């Protein structure tokens, strides 16, 4: 073979070299295409696995959020049963037991008082029934769920509250996001109750151009945000940030020990 190549004329030799070069180029291109297909398939597989992992993580976090909302609801119900309805029923029993049939002039007044207490108890029980349907309220509108949380806060009676809730008459919803947003609000409110020592709370929620804005402001003692973020002193900042990230939102917390805290959340919605 080598002797044949050597014996070729320059023209034949050039032609043969060209064929080898062209064949080599086609071979390299073919190998490149094969590698490209393999790499692309690998990337698609990785993307599919990442998407599946992210979906599983979201579903897991959603379940956790659902359970936390339920737990918060049960705590509120237990508190209301003990502090409100329990006291009303105790007063009713005390009033009825104090009725003396030998004093007809006082009978009508005590019966009237007892009926009033029973009616108040019924009203409180209806409120608890609505609270037990908290998930249904979320599904039928985030505005109603937020109003429910604010009503719960008002019952405590320790705060002057200013509310701007523009979601009450909005029909659009996103049940999964709504549940997470509701839990975020619950966490922020609970932090204020437990740590802020505030007397004024302002809550604003509205939608502008497919973005939901939620702002909670208090006049409490505030905290060092950077220190709290690293040490996470019982205020659940890591949980709040993780949930905001899950629903592709943004959060800004401005706080210092003298001016209270402003928490601003921005979320694509629905």
pLDDT tens-digit readout, 14-66: 666 777 778 777 778 888 888 888 887 778 877 777 766 666 666 676 666 66
Contacts of 248 by beta carbon, 8 Å cutoff, 6+ apart: 267, 268
d(CA 221, CA 197) in angstroms, rounded, equals 6
Please provide residue 130's backbone torsions phi and psi, each rounded to the nearest 5 degrees.
-65, -40
State the pTM of this model.
0.59
* 88 vs 29, residue with greater confidence: 29
Which residue ranges make up each domain of the chain? Answer: 1-132, 159-270
d(CA 51, CA 68) in angstroms, rounded, equals 25
Whether the Cβ atoms of residue 236 and residue 191 lie closer than 8 Å to each other: yes
DSSP state of 54: H
- Residue-wise pLDDT tens digits, 158-210: 889 999 999 888 877 777 788 888 888 888 888 888 888 889 999 999 999 88
Rg (C-alpha) for the chain, rounded Å, is 34
Neighbours of 220 (CB within 10 A): 21
Q: Does residue 268 have a pLDDT over 50?
A: yes
Whether the Cβ atoms of residue 150 and residue 188 lie closer than 8 Å to each other: no
CATH of span 159-270: 3.30.565.10
């Amino acid at each position: 073979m080598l002797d044949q190549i050597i014996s070729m004329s320059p023209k034949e030799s050039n032609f043969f070299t060209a064929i080898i070069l062209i064949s080599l180029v086609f071979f390299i291109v073919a190998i490149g295409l094969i590698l490209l297909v393999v790499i692309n398939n690998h990337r698609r597989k990785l993307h599919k696995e990442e998407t599946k992992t992210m979906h599983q993580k979201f579903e897991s976090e959603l379940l956790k959020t659902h359970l936390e909302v339920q737990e918060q609801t049960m705590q509120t119900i237990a508190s209301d049963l003990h502090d409100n309805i329990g006291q009303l029923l105790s007063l009713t029993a005390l009033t009825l037991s104090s009725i003396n049939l030998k004093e007809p002039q006082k009978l009508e007044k005590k019966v009237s008082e007892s009926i009033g207490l029973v009616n108040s108890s019924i009203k409180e029980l209806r409120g608890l029934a609505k609270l037990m349907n908290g998930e249904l309220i979320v599904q039928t509108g985030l505005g109603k769920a937020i109003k429910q949380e604010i009503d719960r806060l008002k019952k405590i009676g320790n705060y002057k509250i200013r509310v701007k809730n523009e979601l009450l008459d909005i029909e659009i919803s996103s049940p999964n996001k709504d549940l997470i947003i509701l839990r975020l609000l619950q966490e922020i409110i609970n932090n204020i109750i437990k740590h802020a020592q505030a007397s004024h709370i302002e809550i604003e929620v509205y939608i502008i151009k497919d973005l939901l804005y939620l702002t909670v402001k208090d006049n409490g003692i505030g905290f060092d945000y950077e220190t709290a973020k690293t040490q996470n002193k019982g205020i659940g900042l890591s949980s709040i940030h993780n949930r905001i990230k899950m629903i592709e939102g943004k959060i800004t917390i401005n706080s210092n020990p003298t001016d209270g805290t402003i928490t601003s959340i921005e979320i694509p919605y629905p």
